[in-house]
Amino acid sequence: MKTRFLFVLKIGFAILSTSRAGAETGGTTEAAFDRIIPGWTNYSTAFNATQSLDSSGQFATVASFFQPGCDTFLVEYRTIVIWAGALNQQVNFGNFDFAVFVWSSLDTFTNSPLHGDVANVPFVAPTGGRTTVPDAITRGGRPAYELRFCLTNATIKLQHGRSYLVGFGARNHTAGYPDLFVPTSRDSGASDVQAGNILVQGWIELANAGGATVYSGRLATALFVQPVFERPSLNIEGRSQEIVLTWPAAAGCFNLEAASTLFNWSGVTAPVVIDGTVCKVTLPSSATAQWFRLTRTKRNAYP
């Protein structure tokens, strides 16, 4: 499904401006990213996500990059965890506390992997998912559980255009109890990261971790969000040899489309520049009539 706002007609050098539409919010929950495949048995090499609270003091945290196109509230975080205990023995999730973290940059994540500088949301137990019956048994014979953590009570609002890291840690408060690991998925793309004192260098991109790591090092995690924006107006300014189209940067998750008729829309390939509080696209002037609109795909709106 797509959300479409504001049709604008350009004829030669004459510009038809439009009035501003009413304000609204995104309203619906959507996946910022989702790399979990229910029941999948082929998750690749697991990465430690356990923060030991006993005398050993060992810890590791995993995180994924996220850049919202619109101002966004976090709704739910999900992760696959694999227990490193004895085969055929059920994990006791009561031996763990959990936390979802948000960092403002890679530097803040690697400098402080135990505490997000934007948000720390603790949980005494998952708010959903499976903790008794595994979601799957991996090819290595390990139980894989899908854990879910509701974030609606935390009111975490992330700003459009900024890059964040959203991560997870399982806090083991029982001495000697085995760790929980988060596996990589089959998704391709930029690598996720791991940080902690179990790593000699302090942190690492998962794709560069070596060993049996395959694919691109993206974690088997998911993040669900609720975008928040005012229904954007599309403004056009005619200049001598070009036209400039602008819309609010807070609605940067909208894409500019053009058409010579109302039935033949295509995306405008000219680069979008963030100029202060607006998104701006500059196009050469033309004597041919064109329509412009802002369109937003509700699903898979984020990289």
Query: What value does the mean pLDDT take over residues 177-192?
Result: 89
pLDDT in the model for residue 16: 33
| d(C-alpha 254, C-alpha 231), whole Å | 10
Task: Read off the pLDDT of residues 161-183 as tens digits, 9 standing for 90 and up.
Answer: 789 999 999 999 888 899 999 99
pLDDT in the model for residue 238: 81
pLDDT above 70 (res 123): yes
pLDDT above 90 (res 262): no
Is 71 exposed, middle or buried (CB count within 10 Å of its CB: 0-12, 13-18, 19+)?
Answer: buried
Query: What value does the mean pLDDT take over residues 184-195?
Result: 88
- Hey, how many other C-beta atoms are within 10 angstroms of the C-beta on 175? 11
Query: What value does the mean pLDDT take over residues 36-40?
Result: 93
Task: Read off the pLDDT of residues 68-78 as tens digits, 9 standing for 90 and up.
Answer: 878 889 999 99
The full set of domain ranges for the chain reads 2-25+232-297, 30-227
pLDDT in the model for residue 1: 47
pLDDT in the model for residue 215: 62
Is 229 exposed, middle or buried (CB count within 10 Å of its CB: 0-12, 13-18, 19+)?
Answer: buried
Q: What is the DSSP letter of 59?
A: B
Please say whether the beta carbons of 248 and 107 come within 8 A.
no
pLDDT in the model for residue 253: 77
Q: From residue 123, how far is each of 169, 174, 290 by CA, in Å?
A: 10, 16, 53
pLDDT in the model for residue 63: 96
Q: What is the DSSP letter of 261?
A: S
Task: Read off the pLDDT of residues 145-154 as tens digits, 9 standing for 90 and up.
Answer: 999 999 999 9
Percent of the chain with pLDDT over 70: 85
Q: What's at 141, amino acid-wise?
A: G
Query: What value does the mean pLDDT take over residues 201-217?
Result: 73
Q: What's phi and psi for 206, nearest 5 deg?
A: -65, -35
pLDDT in the model for residue 27: 61
pLDDT in the model for residue 75: 96
Q: From residue 302, how far is each of 52, 100, 234 by CA, in Å?
A: 33, 20, 21
Average per-residue pLDDT in the chain?
83
pLDDT in the model for residue 10: 40
How long is the chain?
303
Is the pLDDT higher at 237 or at 209? 237
Query: What value does the mean pLDDT take over residues 115-129?
Result: 96
| d(C-alpha 182, C-alpha 145), whole Å | 10
Determine if residue 253 is left, alpha or beta; phi over 0 gives left, psi from -120 to 50 gives alpha, anything else beta. alpha
Query: What value does the mean pLDDT take over residues 12-32?
Result: 50
pLDDT above 60 (res 19): no
Task: Read off the pLDDT of residues 217-253 as tens digits, 9 standing for 90 and up.
Answer: 899 999 999 988 777 888 988 887 888 999 887 777 7
Lowest mean pLDDT among 54-63, 76-85, 203-212: 203-212
Tokens 């810890």 belong to 59
Task: Read off the pLDDT of residues 273-303 as tens digits, 9 standing for 90 and up.
Answer: 888 888 899 998 876 778 888 887 654 434 4
Please say whether the beta carbons of 54 and 179 come within 8 A.
no
| d(C-alpha 222, C-alpha 147), whole Å | 10
Q: What's at 121, amino acid-wise?
A: V
| d(C-alpha 216, C-alpha 203), whole Å | 17
